[in-house]
Amino acid sequence: MAKGISVVSQLLSYVNYGEAQGVDREIASGILENYNLIPKLTIYELADLCFVSASSITRFIRSLGYDSYKGFKIEVETTLKIDVDYSKKVNLATSEDLQPIFQRYTENVLENIRFTFNNLDYEQLHRICEMIYQANQIGFFGLEYANQIGFHFQNKMASLNKIIKLGVTDEKQWELAQELQEGALVFIVSLEGSYFYRHTEIFDMLARKNCHIIAISMVTTGKFVNYCDEVILCNKTNSNTEGRVTLMYMIELILMAYYINFSHE
């Protein structure tokens, strides 16, 4: 599997960006339409549902990074069993619980935004914008949702004549870390700091290259944080994914600050 990106995201990538009449696009669509059935399907049954041969399924599965259909089925089954995004209270909720859960979620989102706004360091923000302006190379690293934010950041910065390089899988991020030159500017987005511990080899390479590292995180202390040039404090809580909203908010503040300070340079 292409680590760092979920199997569903890989399949959606084929559907969204594949050739309109491409076989892989059709296979990806067929798998997504029958996703919850896959743990119980043989490769021949899935092939019939996708209107292709079993060998076509095997080839497609291998293109996703799996050695076998069995390994692919195990990965799918794992994703169907894990409720990692939400707290136990949400996982056990019923439809009658929606109003109080939504209310608490909304309160947490607003609290996060206020907390982040109240802790903004405007001198730091200006330093970071200046670092972006002066940088010859800029890389963006993070886990799956952070990469979605990264695409937005990349797109908007391109319109301001700054190219952000992004890797959407572990393998692509490793290649990007190798490609970056000495002293490049790097953004690492990891709300709870897990990126630093799950990708020590990438972080070590960036440190050896004396890259200027800017972290966006809830975590402001620790071994890896000490190697960052700047740590932007973002969020107070992330118990039910509410931190994602504030992460986009912070990216928008950086974009706005850069536009105001440097778009006319």
Residue 59: closest CA among 28, 33, 82, 104? 28
Per-residue pLDDT band at 70 (split at 50, 70, 90) = very high
* pLDDT higher than threshold 60 for residue 3: no
Amino acid letter, 167:
G
Q: How confident is the model over 160-207, as pLDDT tens digits?
A: 999 999 887 777 889 999 999 999 999 999 988 888 888 889 988 998
How far is 126 from 223, CA to CA, in rounded Å? 25
- Under the banding of pLDDT at 50, 70 and 90, the label for residue 222 is confident
- Per-residue confidence at 84, pLDDT binned at 50, 70, 90? low
Quick check: helix, strand or coil at residue 212? Answer: strand
Domain range 7-81, CATH class: mainly alpha
Which CATH class, in words, describes the domain spanning 120-262?
alpha beta
- Give start-end residues of each CATH 3.40.50.10490 domain in the chain: 120-262
Tokens 């630093």, located at residue: 196
Rounded CA-CA distance 223/71 in Å is: 36
Cβ count near 26 (within 10 Å): 19
Q: Report whether pLDDT(20) > 70.
A: no
Q: What angle do CA 48, 51, 52 make, to 5 degrees?
A: 90
Which ranges in the chain are annotated with CATH 1.10.10.10?
7-81
Q: Coil, strand or helix: which one is 245?
A: helix
Distance CA 206, CA 184 (A): 9
CA distances from 41 to 63, 90, 101, 109, 233 (A): 20, 30, 36, 41, 46
